[in-house]
Amino acid sequence: MTLEMIIAIVLGCAAIFYGCVILLWIMAVTFDGGLAIYIVARDQDFLGVAGYVACWVFMFPVMLVISFIVGLFDPMRPSSPLSHRWRPWDENGKRQPGYRP
């Protein structure tokens, strides 16, 4: 084996590893976004949940994109850019004044 082949194998393994990590991150963010949308739909009782399920059935690719965007900017996600603005508790675990669920 030459040095070029060893370098190619190492770089290929690193690309596969980091690709899997990025794929898992995208899946986790999309799941969190779908869950955040479900929580809003659940508050609307049966019609909200029925509409949520219907959107997933009939608009699957659109719902994937929307869930990813919502998951990326979900205020309750600790890594979200908006998490410092909407978190209902402070660093000490106390409720922030003015927070309404």
Q: What is the DSSP letter of 8?
A: H
CB 30 within 8 A of CB 74: no
Mark the ranges of the chain whose per-residue pLDDT is less than 70: 75-101
The pLDDT value given to residue 86: 54
The pLDDT value given to residue 36: 85
The pLDDT value given to residue 9: 95
Query: Domains of the chain: which residue ranges?
Result: 26-86
The pLDDT value given to residue 96: 59
The pLDDT value given to residue 1: 80
Which tens digit of pLDDT belongs to each residue from 38-55? 888 888 889 999 999 999
Tell me phi and psi for residue 73, to 5 degrees: -110, 20
